[in-house]
């Protein structure tokens, strides 16, 4: 019989984009996961993964196996929900996709209105926009939050709307902010250490244009895909960083950060994307209605 644990490891490797990230997610050694995937390939007689640069990619057989694995493990999640409902427990399920580059602190603020829902089961998936839109079209996600709208030429039947446009402020450790006052804002950003989102984030392009308009060449010491991780490194003294006003409430969890100034004219956009079939999902509709109000 098929060893479903081996299949699960293969599934996670593909979803995480490689053995190293899969090992980090599963808190296991890379060698252990690699050995389990090889056992899966041996049992079914097909190579599923092949080297690609520093990572791996799926073979044709791997793509077929991954497609089935998606169905299997999603059915497993649905089974748990069915068992809870059969036991008299109401389950409020919301599956949200968060695109790479979106502010995670802002995403938390947008989802806050439904976090107190009784028996909530919140599933958050992070990935490339194209991958998330495909999962949305297959009704594996109820809502996608992205830093840009769905492509106009997409064949996917989805609804896209601009949810918020939040001004962006700069924050940093109290000591760095205090020392930068004498140089003045925003000119001080040429002298103090600066943290920025990576270039796949739509906000990065807006910030680069803002720097050019101000005649500032920032002293960049770090680039991050995750805004929450960027805030953690800033709180530990690495530098100052930009944050949309919408996500600033999350800074209460990080002591010692102070506001430096506003990047005038820079807006972080968040777009909500839903499938036509899923546009009446109660919790997703609540998130959108609260954001609009």
Residue 258 to residue 172: CA distance in whole angstroms: 5
Domain boundary assignment for the chain: 4-73, 88-164+271-292, 165-268
Q: What is the pTM of this model?
A: 0.66
- The predicted pLDDT at position 88 comes to 58
DSSP annotation of 247 reads G
Q: Which of 164, 259, 268 is nearest to 210 (CA)?
A: 268
Report in angstroms the alpha-carbon separations of 27 from 9, 11, 60, 254.
Answer: 12, 15, 29, 26
Tokens of 191: 């002298």
Looking at 3.40.190.10, 3.30.70.1140, 3.10.20.600, 3.10.310.10, the CATH number of the domain 165-268 comes to: 3.40.190.10
195 three-class SS: strand
Provide the CATH topology of domain 4-73. Answer: Arc Repressor Mutant, subunit A (1.10.10)
CA–centroid distance for 134 within its chain:
16
Query: Beta strands 257-275 and 143-146: pairing type?
Result: antiparallel
CATH H-level superfamily of 88-164+271-292 = Periplasmic binding protein-like II (3.40.190.10)
In the block, residue with structure tokens 């980090």: 24
Question: In CATH terms, are 88-164+271-292 and 165-268 the same topology?
Answer: yes
139 three-class SS: coil
Q: Which of 86, 154, 95, 87 is nearest to 125 (CA)?
A: 95
Predicted confidence pLDDT, tens digits, the chain (293 residues): 788 889 999 999 998 888 988 888 888 889 999 999 999 999 999 999 998 887 889 999 999 999 999 888 878 877 776 776 666 556 688 999 998 778 888 888 899 999 999 888 898 988 888 888 888 877 788 999 998 888 876 566 788 889 889 999 999 999 999 888 778 999 999 999 999 999 888 899 999 999 999 999 999 999 998 888 898 999 999 999 999 888 887 666 667 889 999 999 999 999 999 987 777 888 999 999 988 87
Residue 203 to residue 208: CA distance in whole angstroms: 9
Alpha carbons within 13 angstroms on the beta-carbon side of residue 153 total 0
- The predicted pLDDT at position 222 comes to 96
Residue 228 to residue 103: CA distance in whole angstroms: 7
């Amino acid at each position: 019989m098929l060893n479903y644990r081996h299949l699960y490891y293969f599934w996670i490797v593909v979803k995480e984009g490689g053995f190293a990230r899969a090992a980090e997610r599963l808190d296991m050694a890379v060698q252990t996961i690699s050995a389990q995937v090889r056992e899966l390939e041996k049992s079914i007689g097909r190579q599923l993964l092949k080297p690609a640069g520093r990572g791996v990619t799926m073979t044709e057989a791997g793509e077929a196996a991954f497609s089935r694995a998606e169905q299997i493990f999603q059915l497993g999640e649905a089974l748990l929900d069915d068992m809870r409902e059969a036991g008299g427990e109401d389950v409020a399920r919301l599956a949200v996709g968060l695109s790479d580059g979106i502010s995670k602190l802002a995403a938390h603020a947008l989802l806050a209105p439904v976090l107190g829902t009784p028996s909530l089961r919140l599933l958050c998936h992070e990935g490339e926009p194209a991958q998330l839109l495909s999962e949305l079209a297959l009704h594996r996600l109820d809502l996608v939050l992205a830093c840009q709208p769905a492509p106009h030429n997409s064949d996917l039947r989805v609804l896209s709307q601009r949810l918020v446009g939040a001004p962006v402020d700069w924050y940093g450790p109290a000591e760095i902010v205090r020392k930068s006052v004498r140089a003045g804002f925003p000119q001080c950003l040429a002298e103090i250490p600066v943290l920025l989102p990576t270039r796949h984030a739509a906000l990065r392009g807006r910030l680069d244009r803002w720097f050019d308009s101000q005649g500032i060449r920032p002293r960049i010491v770090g680039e991050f895909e995750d805004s929450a991780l960027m805030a953690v490194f800033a709180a530990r003294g690495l530098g100052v960083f930009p944050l949309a006003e919408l996500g600033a409430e999350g800074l209460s969890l990080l002591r010692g950060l102070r506001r430096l100034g506003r990047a005038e004219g820079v807006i972080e956009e968040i777009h909500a994307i839903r499938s036509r079939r899923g546009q009446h999902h109660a919790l997703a509709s609540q998130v959108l209605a609260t954001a609009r109000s």
